[in-house]
Amino acid sequence: MTPLSQVEHAVDLRRSVGAWHGGGPIGFVPTMGALHAGHERLIEQARRECARVVVSIFVNPLQFDRADDLERYPRTIEADAAICARLGVDLLFLPTLQEMYPTPPACTVDPGTLAEHLCGAYRPGHFRGVATVVLKLLNIVGADRAYFGEKDAQQLAIVRRMVADFNVPVTIVGVPTIREGDGLALSSRNVRLNAQERLLAPRLHQALGTADHLIAGGNTDADAVKNAATRVIGSDDLLRLEYFEIVDPDTLQPVEAIAGPVLVAGALWVGGTRLIDNCRSAPTSPRH
């Protein structure tokens, strides 16, 4: 295994990446660390499609709406570096807070109506923080392709739109969600679930499956689909459904009558852990 190069400063990163230009596509996987199989899938895809791969690890305070969430966010830098080395990452960017925000930013990226619903409605400022740090990272790294998980569907839609709106010269690649055997989407937050909570956690995925089934079967009434799907979650003192919405996959605005592809997304609190998941769904075309 070749030793993994690590840099802290944007100027050093630019120097390394600059020397690679012209030698094939450069792939970039931005992360906040605590790498799991979901991140591994992003890195593996970048590795397959690009000549060089850069991974960043930066726990971005700007996107945390709760101080305790930021504090509790898992930090596992040595294990993360080992994963990057094993997967053949060329360069690991580990900027400090001072490097990314030498002063609190005066200019930030406003995702507008894209952040009005779904997670954005419950996490004020979250997507402004995400879009701002992603734009900074894309500018610093200068990659040709950047990889994001489809599990964070709202984030992915916002990043795609930001890149289009600001003419950022990068291709955004969405990578399908990795799941445990019982359907639970992999997330850095899953480690916080105790045994009882872990048993309940797949209920969100089950509700999404029900919604998908109803929509594919021709049910066009979004409220009826949501009601039937959320009944699957059931009631338990440990469960609290934050939202379960059916929205347009690009504008992220709620849909009332389902006539084409939609994004079905939910957030479920399981004990003290907030889990999100989603699926793309569409009415099945009638056979002729």
The closest alpha carbon to 153, from 179, 188, 114, belongs to 114
* Chain residues in the site for ligand PAF (CB under 6 A): 30-32, 60, 63, 130, 133-134, 152, 155
Catalytic position from the list 9, 21, 39, 117: 39
Nearer to ligand PAF, 43 or 229 (CB): 43
Instruction: Indicate the helix (H) or strand (E) that contains 29.
Output: strand 26-31
Q: And the tokens for 68? A: 């305790």
Residue with tokens 């992220």: 252
Minimal distance, residue 206 CB to ligand PAF, in Å: 24
Task: Identify residue 239 by its one-letter amino acid code.
Answer: L
The rounded distance, in Å, linking the Cα atoms of 61 and 113 is 22
CA pair distance 149, 254, nearest whole angstrom: 22
Q: Which two tokens stand for residue 16?
A: 């390394």
Q: Taking the complex as a whole, how short is the minimal distance between the CB of residue 139 and ligand PAF, in angstroms?
A: 14
Q: How far is the CB of 80 from ligand PAF (least distance, A)?
A: 12
As measured in angstroms, the least distance from the Cβ of 148 to ligand PAF is: 6
Q: Give residues with Cβ within 8 angstroms of 41, minimum separation 6.
A: 149, 175, 176, 178
Q: Which is nearer to ligand PAF, 26 or 109 (CB)?
A: 109
| Residue 26 vs 133, nearer CB to ligand PAF | 133
Q: Which is nearer to ligand PAF, 32 or 204 (CB)?
A: 32
Identify which of 8, 58, 25, 16 has the alpha carbon closest to the alpha carbon of residue 169: 25
Q: Is 9 a catalytic residue?
A: no
Q: CA-CA distances (angstroms) from residue 28 to 113, 185, 239?
A: 27, 22, 36
- What are the catalytic residues? 39
